[in-house]
């Protein structure tokens, strides 16, 4: 996993933990506040992938094979 993917994932987890809607703008704010430079395309892809999903539920229902 790259540093930018990790930063984006942590930002999404922070927002989910605070019950804040995950948007590309909010992800980018957290990432830049932490002094990371991340490709905004990855933010958009992550936002699209988890849109409408409860990130906490997704993480807790991980089905490892």
Cα–Cα distance between 12 and 23 in angstroms, integer? 9
Q: What CATH number has the domain bearing residue 33?
A: 1.10.10
45-60: pLDDT as tens digits: 666 777 667 777 776 6
Cα–Cα distance between 28 and 22 in angstroms, integer? 10
Element holding 54 (H helix, E strand): none
What one-character DSSP code corresponds to residue 53?
S
- Amino acid 18: pLDDT: 93
- Amino acid 2: pLDDT: 76
- Count other Cβ atoms within 10 Å, centred on residue 4: 15
Write out the residue range of the structural domain in which residue 34 sits: 3-63
Structural domains counted in the chain? 1
Do the beta carbons of residue 10 and residue 38 sit within 8 Å?
no
């Amino acid at each position: 996993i790259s540093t930018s993917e990790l930063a984006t994932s942590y930002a999404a987890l922070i927002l989910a933990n605070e019950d804040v809607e995950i948007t590309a703008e909010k992800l980018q704010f957290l990432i830049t506040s932490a002094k990371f430079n991340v490709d905004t395309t990855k933010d958009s892809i992550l936002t699209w992938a988890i849109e409408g999903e409860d990130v906490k539920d997704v993480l807790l229902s991980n089905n490892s094979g």
